[in-house]
Structures are given as structure tokens and as C-alpha cells.
Amino acid sequence: MNAISRPPADLPAALVAALSALLGERFSRRSADLEQHGRGESYHPTCPPQAVCRATATEEVARIVTLCAAHRVPVIPFGAGTSLEGHVLAVAGGISLDLSGMNRIVAVRPGDLDATVEAGVTRQQLNAWLRDQGLFFPVDPGAECTLGGMAATRASGTNAVRYGTMRENVIALTAVMADGSVIRTGSRARKSSAGYDLTRLLVGSEGTLGIITEVTLRLYGVPEAVSAAICHFPDVASAVATVTDIVQAGNPVARAEMLDDMTMRAINRYSKTAMAEAPTLFLEFHGSAAGVEEQAALAQEIADGHGGTGFERATGHEALNRLWHARHNVHYAVLGLSPGRKLWSTDVCVPLSQLTELVRWADRERADLPVMTSMVGHVGDGNFHMGLLIHPDDPAELGVAEAFNERLVERAIALEGTCTGEHGVGTGKRKFLVKEHGAALAPMRAIKAALDPLGILNPGKVLPD
């Protein structure tokens, strides 16, 4: 594959002229726009593109990609810019293709429990639209993410233990391929045995195989009753063991979030709350009124057996929103503990039976680290994150975080887990794919070469050199 390894000195003049004519003011080379589109929300250094193209329709995306392919100029899809592993960095120069302006809700079909939206629609926008119809879309990474970006990174989040990830909730896609052609993958049928599953191939491909411009999503009815609970524990391992037992007991908990004492302290400072600063579980239950009561009672009984204390229920829209608003702001809350630092957020996932062991190991290992750390996890599905507060321009602190991350990933893979449960690969996790996938990288490279022979779609991401 003839991939571009470094940015050209400048964009071809003919390409600049064509894109300017096509997009007008939506083609930008202003330094502020380039800076904004060359960074995510993590420690990765800014790597700006050479221009920004703001698209408003699939046909426009196709035209932009066709022009870039003719000049062998890279195209990096951009949604909300909330990625944590360097997905939007222009490591080989080129065009940042901003899809946030593609924000139309194309169709909602209550009878079929599905909806089709453009890639720039956020999950919050979709759920606000659905509210009066008694429906919702459950995948909730926390940030103000676009649904196209969530599909591209195979996002997950707090509801995954009950409703699954984007992999389970994307029914079909519209995508622009590397030659500018437009394809639609799948149908709206709930199952199909017709041909290769291109939908699953593109979900999680991070813009390296095609650019997602429309997504058809599975919807769910708003549950009759919703309640939440918080419970505190003597250590993080006890909190995780509680959730493992809850899930293995068949309790259909909707959310199960573990937060360590450091994270709880950060939340109290940032969200002006007064919760106990101890390892804590946030739980949420969905179902009938009687079913929710039964789920909460079983969870409390299991928590008591692991040393849980202060089991407190939260009901009502306002109380639930306040609880989950605090959880969703964890990234910024932890950053607030040490202004000026960036957060290196790890992201491993293991089989549920191995999670308590891995969390206990990580808790021991971080005790000797010379940087501040936090721990949160969607522990109902075996996924947790360590947040290391570092100065990214300090080689010593960067080295500490990198070494810890490598040890954590290696241990997760040894437990038959993965280097990333939801953040994706981007540039940050590429090197771990060799250990995780081994010989399976060869067919992955063959797929990339077949679908993107010029290597223009988000180069330098996912597959290691």
C-alpha cells in the first residue's frame, strides 16, 4: 500500500482551488481552525491538518474525497473532537473533513424501533428529539459525541452492560469510500444472511476504511421505572467484586460504574457535591416499578456481603440527572485536581471473571507511581480506566505513564482481554495490536490495502507500521 508517511510541503494549488470553489467559506486554512481540528481531549500533542473542509451532505463528502484521492492527499474525518487516542491528528498532513454540520435527523420509525441520522448528530440531540415519542438511544460515552464518530470508534459507555455498544446498535450505514464512491451497508431488517457484513467492518474502523456519513440505529422504549443507587466500599476490588456478583446473579442492571476515592474527591470539588470520598458504585436499574425494586434489593444484599455501606437510592428525573451529570464530568473533574496537566486515560477490558484480579493489581501498582492517578470503570462489562495526570512535555512523567500503560495492557491481554474496550486505537494503541492480534493483522492489512490503496483515509491510525 502506497501510504503517505509525512506531510507534503503544501497542498496542491489545484486542489485548494477546487475545494475553495466547492465549499466557499466552509474551506478554511485559518490557523485557529487548523489548531482546533488537530487535537482531541487527551495528552497527545496537537498535530494540525493543512486545511479544514466542513461538509453538509454525503454528496459533498464524496466530491471532497474524490478530489483528495486525485492528488493523493490524506483525509481525516472529524466529528466533535472528543477522541482520547489521537484519532483526529493529521500525522501525514492533509484535510480535516468536519462532519459536524451534517446534523439532520433523517427519519425516526417508532414502529420499527430505529432511526436514521446524519453523522454529525449527537446522541443528546437524538434523545431530545425522541423524548416525546417514548423512545431513547442508550449508548452513552458521556461526552458530547457525534453518532458518526461513535460508530467509527465502536463507542461504548455507561449503559453497555444492558444495552450493548455501538457494534450491537448500528443497523446500517452510508459511507464514502476512498475513491469517492458512496455505499450503503445492510438493510433495516433485524437479521440478514446476505453477503459480507460491511456494517460491522466499518463500525470501529476509525475512518481508515471509509467515511461514515449516515447511521441507522436501534432504538429502545423508555422504561416504565428508573432508579439509581450509590454505595461505598473499603477498596476498589470490593466494589468490582460486587458488580461481578450482581451480573452473574442475572440482575439486569442498566449501569454499573465504579469510581475510586480520588475520583470522588474530584467530583465533589467540580460538581459541588458532598458524597463520601471512598471507592463508590453508581448503579442504575430499568424495568417495571416492581422489577426495579427487586433489582435494587438484590444489589444491596450483594453489596452488603462485600463490605458496602451507605446504600442510598435516587429516584426522580432531577436526582438521576444530578448523579449522572457528576459521573459524565469525571474527565474534567480529574483535570481540575492539577490544572495545567493533561490526562493519560488508559482503557482496558477483560472477561468479567478476571476484572477483580486486574483492578486489584492496578491498584497496587499505582501506589508507587510519582504522579496522581484516578480509576473509573464501566465494570459491568469488564472495562475500566486509569487516569494519570501528567505534564506531556515532561519526559519523566510521560515515561511513567507510558510504562504503566504498557504493563496494564500486557496484563489485560494475558487475561484474554483487549488493549481498548471503547476508546479505540488511533495512534496511541497501534503498537499493542501485534500482541493482541498476531497473525490476524495480515488480513486486516489486506482489507485496508483493498479498500484504500492510496492510503489516504486517516493514515497512521489503527494498523501498526
Contact 81, 22 (CB under 8 A): no
- Percent of the chain having pLDDT more than 70? 98
Q: Is the pLDDT of residue 7 over 80?
A: no
Q: Going by DSSP bridges, is the β-strand pair 114-118/27-28 parallel, antiparallel, or unpaired?
A: unpaired
CATH 3.30.70.2190 fits 225-332, yes or no: yes
Cα gap 18→117, rounded to integer Å: 28
* Mean pLDDT, rounded, for 309-332: 87
- Percent of the chain having pLDDT more than 90? 89
pLDDT tens digits along 134-162? 999 999 987 789 999 999 999 998 899 99
Contact 84, 157 (CB under 8 A): no
Cα gap 178→70, rounded to integer Å: 10
Q: Going by DSSP bridges, is the β-strand pair 182-185/255-259 parallel, antiparallel, or unpaired?
A: unpaired
Contact 234, 260 (CB under 8 A): no
Q: Give the 3-state secondary structure of residue 374.
A: strand
Residue showing cell 444530578: 322
Element (H, E) at 410: helix 395-414
Q: Is the pLDDT of residue 5 over 60?
A: no
pLDDT tens digits along 380-416? 999 999 999 999 899 999 999 999 999 999 999 999 9
Cα gap 170→173, rounded to integer Å: 8
Contact 23, 54 (CB under 8 A): yes
Cα gap 263→316, rounded to integer Å: 25
Q: Is the pLDDT of residue 3 over 60?
A: no
Q: How confident is the model at residue 4 (pLDDT cuts 50, 70, 90)?
A: very low
Strand partners, 218: 114
Res 142: pLDDT:
78
Res 38: pLDDT:
96
pTM of the model: 0.93
Report which of 66, 263, 100 is spatially closest to residue 182, judged by C-alpha positions. 66
Domains of the chain by residue range? 105-221, 225-332, 334-425
Neighbouring CB atoms inside 10 A of 206's CB total: 22
The C-alpha cell at 59 is: 454528496
Q: Which amino acid is at 102?
A: M
May I ask the CATH architecture of the domain 105-221?
Answer: 2-Layer Sandwich (3.30)
* Mean pLDDT, rounded, for 14-43: 96
Res 136: pLDDT:
96
* Mean pLDDT, rounded, for 251-261: 95
Please provide the average confidence, as pLDDT, over all residues in the chain.
Answer: 94
Q: How confident is the model at residue 9 (pLDDT cuts 50, 70, 90)?
A: low
Report which of 87, 76, 27 is spatially closest to residue 56, judged by C-alpha positions. 27
pLDDT tens digits along 192-221? 999 999 999 999 999 999 999 999 999 999
- Same fold: 225-332 with 334-425: yes
Which CATH number is correct for 334-425, 3.30.200.190, 3.40.50.2300, 3.30.70.2740, 3.40.50.2000? 3.30.70.2740
* Mean pLDDT, rounded, for 72-78: 98
333-339 LR contacts (CB < 8 Å, sep 24+): 333/263, 333/266, 333/267, 333/269, 333/270, 333/271, 334/262, 334/263, 334/266, 334/374, 334/387, 334/389, 335/389, 336/266, 336/269, 336/270, 337/262, 337/265, 337/266, 337/269, 337/372, 337/389, 338/372, 338/389
Angle at 135 between CA 129 and CA 141, to 5 degrees: 75
